[in-house]
C-alpha cells in the first residue's frame, strides 16, 4: 500500500472539489448519461463541509496527490453537498437511527485498488465507536458492487431528481453492525 489515509481538513476542500468531477465523469460513465452526471455534479456529487467539520470525512493521498475521499455522518442528510444549506444538518440518535456513509470518490487512475474499501473500513470502525448499530447509504449504480461485497444489502432502488436532466438511479443500502 503506497498511499495514506487521514481525516480531512478544510485545507483539503479545493482538492476534493477537483477530484469529484474527475471521478464522476470517469467511473460513473458506464452507468449514467453525460447529462445526468453533469447535472448531479454540484447538488448530488459535492463536498459537504459539515462532514469535514465533524471529523468524519477521510482523504487518501499518494505522493501529495489526493486519490480518494469518503466518510460517514451522524447527521440526517443521506447525500449531497452543503451548497445552499443555511443551517447545520440535524444530528441523528445512534440508539435508534443508522449512521450514514457518504460521498466516496476515487481518482480513476486508482480505481479498484482497495481505496474505497479501506475508507469504508475506517468509517465502519468510527461508526461502531460512536455507538451506532446500523448504517445506511445511498449508492450510485457504480458504487453498489463495492457495498454489496462489503456486506451491505439493498433496501430499495430509487431515483434522485435532477435539475435539467433525467433522474439519477440510486440504491438505498444498509448494514447491521
pLDDT one-digit tens code per residue, 148-160: 999 999 999 999 9
Question: Distance between CA atoms of 165 and 33, rounded to whole angstroms?
Answer: 9
- The whole-number average pLDDT for the span 88-105 is 94
Helix (H), strand (E) at residue 119 = helix 115-129
> What phi and psi values does residue 112 have, to the nearest 5 degrees?
60, 40
Predicted local distance difference test score (pLDDT) of residue 82: 83
DSSP 8-state symbol, 48: -
The number of angstroms, rounded, from the C-alpha of 91 to the middle of its chain's C-alpha atoms is 18
Q: ∠67-73-76 over CA atoms, to 5°? A: 135
Predicted local distance difference test score (pLDDT) of residue 83: 76
pTM: 0.95
Answer yes or no: are the C-beta atoms of 71 and 120 closer than 8 Å: no
Residues 113-128: tens digit of each pLDDT: 999 999 999 999 999 9
Kindly indicate the confidence band of residue 94, based on its pLDDT and cuts at 50, 70 and 90.
Answer: very high
**Domain locations in the chain as residue ranges:** 4-133
- The whole-number average pLDDT for the span 121-139 is 98
Q: Assess whether pLDDT exceeds 90 at residue 175.
A: yes
Residues 29-53: tens digit of each pLDDT: 999 999 999 999 999 999 999 999 9
Q: Residue 62, exposed/middle/buried by CB under 10 A (0-12, 13-18, 19+)?
A: middle
Domain 4-133: assigned CATH number: 3.40.630.30
Q: Assess whether pLDDT exceeds 80 at residue 85.
A: no
Mean pLDDT of the residues in the chain: 95
- The whole-number average pLDDT for the span 12-25 is 98
Amino acid at each position: 500500500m503506497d498511499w495514506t489515509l487521514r481525516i480531512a481538513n478544510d485545507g483539503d476542500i479545493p482538492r476534493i472539489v477537483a477530484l469529484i468531477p474527475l471521478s464522476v465523469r470517469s467511473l460513473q460513465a458506464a452507468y449514467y448519461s453525460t447529462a445526468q452526471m453533469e447535472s448531479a455534479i454540484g447538488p448530488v456529487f459535492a463536498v459537504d463541509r459539515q462532514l469535514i467539520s465533524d471529523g468524519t470525512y477521510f482523504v487518501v493521498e499518494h505522493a501529495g496527490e489526493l486519490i480518494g475521499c469518503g466518510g460517514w455522518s451522524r447527521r440526517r442528510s443521506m447525500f449531497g453537498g452543503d451548497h445552499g444549506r443555511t443551517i447545520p444538518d440535524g444530528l441523528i440518535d445512534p440508539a435508534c437511527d443508522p449512521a450514514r456513509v457518504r460521498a466516496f470518490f476515487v481518482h480513476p487512475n486508482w480505481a479498484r485498488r482497495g481505496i474505497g474499501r479501506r475508507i469504508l473500513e475506517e468509517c465502519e470502525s468510527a461508526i461502531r465507536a460512536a455507538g451506532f448499530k446500523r448504517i445506511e447509504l445511498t449508492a450510485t449504480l457504480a458504487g453498489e458492487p463495492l457495498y454489496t461485497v462489503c456486506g451491505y444489502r439493498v433496501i430499495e432502488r430509487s431515483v434522485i431528481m435532477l435539475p435539467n436532466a433525467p433522474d439519477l438511479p440510486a440504491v438505498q443500502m444498509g448494514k447491521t453492525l
